[in-house]
Amino acid sequence: MSRPPLTLQTRLMAAVIGFVSVILIIVAVITSATLGTSLEGRLQDQLRSTADDTTTLVAQQAFRSAVTGDPLTARTALAGAHFQVSGLLLAIYTSNGPEGVVLNSDGTTDLTDAQVLQLDDAVKTSPGASITLDGLGSFQLTVTKTNGIGIVTGLPRDEVQSTMAQLLTVITLATLGGLILLALTTTITIRMSLRPLRAVARTATRVANQPLDRGEVTITERVPDAEADPRTETGLVGASLNKLLDHVNDSLASRQKNEERMRRFVADASHELRTPLASIRGYSELSLRDRELPETAQTALERIQAQSLRMTRLVEDLLLLARLDEGQELVHGTVDLTQLALEGLTDARPTAPAHHWIIDVPEEPVVMLGDAGRLHQVVANLLANARTHTPDGTTITLSVAREGDEAVIRVHDDGPGIEPQVREELFARFARGDSSRARQTGGTGLGLAIAKAIVEGHNGTIGVESEPGDTTFTVRFPLTPVSAPAPTP
């Protein structure tokens, strides 16, 4: 499972905070290393100075011991000495073995045998190393000799360690505090900087949710002027989107005017053609009553009459589509879809006796608000489409059902199916399905377009699913009352 992409704000914050964190860590490491080196150097200088003093004291005490015969010890070597450093460690190696003391502000403390053994092991391993004595702390050591006597001088490292600990604590707290403050200021800055882009996204989303494919459309959504300042990079995006929406709105308005002009032209032309077509049909019928007409003239008149009837159906269909586009022709009332389906199948069965017809309706009537005549036309067109484009012996099933808050009409057949490229344009006007379904009778190619217009006029939907041996047209209507003109008396 792929991880969701990071937002621009998250990437910017991660980059800024990451780079600053690296810089702060580098500065902290350099500062700590520099200060640590300085403190260590200072401690070594102090240790060398102190070691010189302790060596001198031990040498003097060794001379007095040789004169008086008193034993030489670390405690006697420090007798009367005054050192500025508290915690000075002094150990001497004589013929009696090593022994040592620690000089504190309140006196001297002898090292225990275990501490002496621990110190002796450290000196033998690395004379100039640091050591941590149990119960006393950490010391920096140095070893000197005078008159055959080994002298170990040590200074406490507590001050160095304390200073470094305080420095690391301050650096850590300052870094965390700085990063938190940086994160807050970066978040606020980036959010304010990206606010125009979010306004653009919201505006684009609202426009995308508008139905722009049909009807009169006006795009009133715009990016607010405060977020569309072309002087800034993000504001320029908002200004560009507003300009684009202006052009699109003008184009949609122009398209709507052209569609209205075309609908008026189709409606007017269809209306005007009805009269001459009726006259042609009437004169042809009248002429055919003359029994003395030659056979060729009679055949020609019959052809004229057939074509005038076909032309009349085409004109009527075009006029109906034009009126449906204008929201006319629908007279709403209570419609029993169950009864409507039964009547539609009864009318369709005699037109194709070689087909197998099946009706599937519920016991309870499915009632909706709509135009009974036009809904009957939808069923008739769908049955005629299934009958016309399938061979003899095909089973056609008409079903009506209630599914939730919708009434559903389905027309299913087990014919050859519809090719995908034809299916995409099946409900377009003058669409033809010749490449996938044998066309047995002439037609205007407007039947499914009329059905679609009537269904959408009832706030419904129509669709098709098809594969060889399984084709289903599905019509769905909301069972709640639809907004419609009041029924005409």
CATH code: domain of residue 318: 1.10.287
First to last CA, the chain: 62
Q: What are phi and psi of 130, to 5 degrees?
A: -100, 155
CA quadruple 93, 94, 95, 96: dihedral, nearest 10: -80
Q: Is there a single domain that holds both residue 283 and residue 233? A: yes
| Within a domain: 202 | no
Per-residue model confidence (pLDDT) at position 102: 86
Per-residue model confidence (pLDDT) at position 396: 93
Q: Which of 304, 329, 354 is the last residue of a domain?
A: 329
CA–CA gap between residue 118 and residue 371 (Å, rounded): 107
Q: Which of 329, 362, 395 is the last residue of a domain?
A: 329
CB-count burial class (<10 Å; 0-12, 13-18, 19+) for 232 = middle
Q: Going along 339-443, which residue ranges are E strands? A: 356-360, 367-370, 395-403, 406-413
| Within a domain: 177 | no
| Within a domain: 64 | yes
CA–CA gap between residue 17 and residue 29 (Å, rounded): 18
Q: Is there a single domain that holds both residue 276 and residue 361? A: no
Q: Label residues 193-230 b or e (16+ Cβ within 10 Å = b).
A: ebebbebbeebeeebeeeeeeeeeeebebbbeeebbee
What DSSP character marks residue 440? Answer: -
Q: Is there a single domain that holds both residue 321 and residue 385? A: no
Domain total in the chain? 3
| Within a domain: 245 | yes
| Within a domain: 206 | no
CB-count burial class (<10 Å; 0-12, 13-18, 19+) for 261 = exposed
Sign of CA dihedral 166, 171, 176, 181: positive
Q: Is there a single domain that holds both residue 420 and residue 454? A: yes
Q: Is there a single domain that holds both residue 16 and residue 154? A: yes
* Neighbouring C-beta atoms of residue 72, cutoff 10 Å: 19
Q: Is there a single domain that holds both residue 31 and residue 149? A: yes
What DSSP character marks residue 227? Answer: G
Which residues form the domain of 319? 211-329
Task: Please say whether the beta carbons of 206 and 222 come within 8 A.
Answer: no
| Within a domain: 192 | no
Q: Which of 164, 194, 227 is the last residue of a domain?
A: 164
Q: Is there a single domain that holds both residue 30 and residue 72? A: yes
Q: Is there a single domain that holds both residue 109 and residue 139? A: yes
Q: Is there a single domain that holds both residue 295 and residue 388? A: no
CATH code: domain of residue 81: 3.30.450
Q: Is there a single domain that holds both residue 287 and residue 345? A: no
Q: Is there a single domain that holds both residue 312 and residue 393? A: no
CA–CA gap between residue 423 and residue 419 (Å, rounded): 6
CATH code: domain of residue 360: 3.30.565.10
> Side chain identity at 479, as an amino acid letter?
L
What DSSP character marks residue 209? Answer: T
| Within a domain: 186 | no
Biggest alpha carbon–alpha carbon distance for the chain: 175
CA–CA gap between residue 282 and residue 73 (Å, rounded): 148
Q: Is there a single domain that holds both residue 261 and residue 315? A: yes
Taking only the tens of pLDDT, the chain with its 489 residues reads 567 777 777 888 888 888 888 998 898 889 889 998 999 899 899 888 888 888 888 888 888 887 787 777 777 777 666 666 778 888 888 777 788 888 877 778 888 888 888 888 888 888 778 888 888 888 999 998 888 888 899 899 888 888 889 988 998 898 888 889 988 888 888 888 878 888 888 888 888 887 776 666 777 788 888 778 788 877 888 888 889 888 888 888 887 777 777 767 766 777 777 778 788 878 788 888 877 778 888 888 888 888 888 787 777 777 777 777 666 667 788 889 999 999 999 999 998 899 999 999 888 889 998 888 889 989 998 999 889 888 999 999 999 999 888 999 999 999 888 887 777 777 776 665 544 444 444 455 677 888 888 888 888 999 999 888 899 999 999 986 544 444 443
> Side chain identity at 471, as an amino acid letter?
T
| Within a domain: 181 | no
Q: What is the pTM of this model?
A: 0.48
CA–CA gap between residue 414 and residue 470 (Å, rounded): 5
Helix (H, G, I), strand (E, B) or coil at 458: coil
